[in-house]
Structures are given as structure tokens and as C-alpha cells.
Amino acid sequence: MSGPADITRLAFVASDRPEAIEARERLARRYGDASEDDAQVVVALGGDGFMLETLHRHLETGRPIYGMNRGSVGFLMNDYAEDDLLARIAAAERARIHPLRMTATDVRGQVHRGLAINEVSLLRQTRQSAKLRISVDGKIRLPELSCDGVLVATPAGSTAYNLSAHGPIVPLDARALALTPISAFRPRRWRGALLSHTACVLVEVLEADKRPVSAVADNFEVRDVARVEVAEDRDVGLTMLFDAGRSLEERVLAEQFSA
């Protein structure tokens, strides 16, 4: 992006929050409102959840998404301001990310596929802990993990659920994935692993009939899974735009020094 004149067609989309809807109406009047199919950049108004929804909607188009916070946390969003929007977008820094592809087979043998920008998580469905076997690139690394669940996170998603589960923050250019247990019971001291971004993770559910487990790729859930494979999909690329000096790389780094 070389200059404000290069960006003329914006599409504004908003979450269902009143402040997001009002912001969309004002910005559309001021800057025009192209269709998402015709826009050079899609401007998403809402919170991080809505940003993920918008990114998922444009998985195939690869259209750049510029978010402005009209939600709560807004880690993936830029600050909301209505002035000089074209110039801000023209000067924005790009973050190119690749999602995880989840292939989940349920206990009936049906196969379900989904993409995750943040993480793929496996979670117990009942009061009983899940029992999981974890393999990496075809080699069993953990024969049995008793836990509430486990997740595989992208660098972009490492500051989300992964961080709340005490997983590591992964720099965006680290070419690594975080494998993090959720409330591990046995082995109690296992804290997870950092894996190459080329790794293929297989999680098999032990005693699936007695201890049912669900698998979730961002907001796509599969119940009663028997096995789940997770790997980065390099064939799919997403572009997020961040204000100059506030890149996603900088945000991820700064999060490691936050109190």
C-alpha cells in the first residue's frame, strides 16, 4: 500500500452491538460503502469475536481486513477514530497469517473439517475428565493425558484462550505452534510443548463412550469426537491490517511484558 489515493473502496461491516452499528452508519456516509465483493479493504467494527467472524468469511477471498474496536477487548482491532481513515489504512502494516485445519472424526465415523485462526481445542463434555493420547508427526508423545482438555494455538491466537490456559505467547514470526493442556490432572506437571509450524498433531480420545469430548475450531464445534488431527494450512492465507507502529507482532511482544 503506497498511498491514500490507492484506497478508494471500503466495505464497512459491524457486529450487532449498538455502538458498532452506529459507527458503521457514520463511516459509510463519510467514506462510501462498497460491497464486500467489490471492496479493496473490509473494515470490521466490533470486538475480537467479530473480527474472527469477518476473517472466516473472507478465507477464500484473502481480502485485507482492517478492524476498529467497537467491542470490549479488541486485541485484534485498531483504535476507533473516524478521521483520516483512508490514510491510516494506506499506511497500515500487514500481518499475514495461516489458520489451522482441524479434521475431526466422531464416534460414528463421520469426518468434520474446520479452520481455526486462533486455536483448535478439545474439551470434556461431562463431569468426568477427558483421557487423551497425543501424537506428533506420527509418534506418540503422551500415551495418556487426564485433563479438562488440550488446545493447539497459532501465534496469532497464542494470546487468547491459550494464554488463559497458561500456555506460552508465541511471536508471530516464530514459525511455531503452542500445544497446551487445559487443567491437566495426570501428568500434573506437564505444561505443554512448542512445536514446529509444520507439525501434525493427532489427539485420540480414550474411553470416548464414557468420557465424551468435543472439538472446537474457533467457533465451529464437533461433539463426541474420537480423534482429531490438527495442522497448519499453508494454502490459506489471511491478511489483517494494523495501524503503523501498532502491528500484530508488536502487540504480541508487548503482551509478554504486561503486568
- Residues labelled catalytic: 48
Q: What is the grid cell recorded at 31?
A: 467514506
- Do 120 and 130 touch, CB atoms closer than 8 A? no
Q: Is 33 helix (H, G, I), strand (E, B) or coil?
A: coil
- Do 243 and 78 touch, CB atoms closer than 8 A? yes
- Do 130 and 124 touch, CB atoms closer than 8 A? yes
Q: What is the grid cell recorded at 150?
A: 488440550
Residue 235 to residues 78, 82, 99, 123, Cα–Cα distance (Å): 27, 35, 9, 28
Q: Is 172 helix (H, G, I), strand (E, B) or coil?
A: coil
Q: Is 155 helix (H, G, I), strand (E, B) or coil?
A: coil
Give dist(CA 114, CA 103) in Å, integer: 7
H helical segments located in 1-84: 18-31, 48-57
